Amino acid sequence: MLVRKSAKDRKVEIIEKALRLADELGPDRLTTGAVAQAVGVTQPGIFRHFATKQALWLAVAEHISELLRAAWHDALRPEQTPMQNIAALVSAQLRQIEQTPALPAILFSRELSTEYPGLRQVFASRLAEYQVLLTEELAAARAAGSLRADLVTADGVVLLTSLVQGLAIRWSLGARGFSLPDEGARLLAVQLALFAADNGGAR
């Protein structure tokens, strides 16, 4: 209305509000009108900053993508053991989801991916990166002798990512009735214990 901001500021403001609204309303109900209202601009005002709604979604996707990348790379520490790094990666991911609850809905929404081509690619390549990071750490754990010999590394990675995804879905569909990072840490510990070489155990 009265306030008039620079295009740059507005753009990030729009992206952030869109992300918040995607959670509150659900990604499909994220209309340009709703975003405009949240930002405090008339509906066509959005189109000053994003030529199409798809462009807006793409910007949101890239914003998310960047958040995730940063969180993962923050989580990794050379001084940690590979197992600790794995736990840190999982924890970082779950905390990011908790902080940005629209994430699972956006990442897993086939609706969005089909309606706005380009999103899928952004997310797919980013999630592939996550798998690479996990694979590296798991391979390091194996090199350190902390893994059961009969566990194929790639299989371990799939089990871990499935754990994260399954948990995220249960959380986001199930009214978020539990603490995602807490439950995740607990179950991850269980899974990692199963992965661990039976050193101190029997024998």
Partner DNA sequence: CACTTTAGTTAGTGAGGTATTACTGGACAG
Partner DNA sequence: CTGTCCAGTAATACCTCACTAACTAAAGTG
Interface contacts to DNA, rule CB under 7 A = 1-7, 10, 29-33, 36, 41-45, 47-49, 51-54
Total residues in contact with a copy of itself, by rule CB under 8 A = 46
Contact status, residue 102 vs residue 19, Cβ threshold 8 Å: yes
Residue 27 interacts with which of DNA, a copy of itself, none, CB < 5 to 8 Å by class: a copy of itself
Q: Which of residues 66-125 bind a copy of itself (CB under 8 A)?
A: 104-105, 108-111, 113-115, 120, 124
Residue 61 has, within 13 A of its CA and on its CB side, a CA count of 25
- Report CA-CA distances (Å) from 57 to 31, 93, 193: 11, 21, 40
Contact status, residue 143 vs residue 81, Cβ threshold 8 Å: no
Taking the complex as a whole, how short is the minimal distance between the CB of residue 43 and DNA, in angstroms?
Answer: 5
Q: Should residue 174 be labelled a site residue for a copy of itself when binding is judged by CB under 8 A? A: yes
* Tokens matching residue 42: 């008339």
Contact status, residue 180 vs residue 94, Cβ threshold 8 Å: yes
* Contacts (Cβ under 8 Å, ≥6 apart) of 15: 56, 59, 60, 63
Contact status, residue 89 vs residue 130, Cβ threshold 8 Å: yes
Taking the complex as a whole, how short is the minimal distance between the CB of residue 25 and DNA, in angstroms?
Answer: 9
Q: Should residue 27 be labelled a site residue for a copy of itself when binding is judged by CB under 8 A? A: yes
CA–CA distance, 87 with 28 (Å, rounded to integer): 33
Taking the complex as a whole, how short is the minimal distance between the CB of residue 155 and a copy of itself, in angstroms?
Answer: 5
Residue 53 interacts with which of DNA, a copy of itself, none, CB < 5 to 8 Å by class: DNA
Residue with tokens 């949101």: 60
Residue 5 interacts with which of a copy of itself, DNA, none, CB < 5 to 8 Å by class: DNA
Q: Which residues bind a copy of itself (CB under 8 A)?
A: 25-29, 104-105, 108-111, 113-115, 120, 124, 148, 150-152, 155, 158-159, 161-167, 169-170, 172-174, 186-187, 190-191, 193-195, 198, 201-203
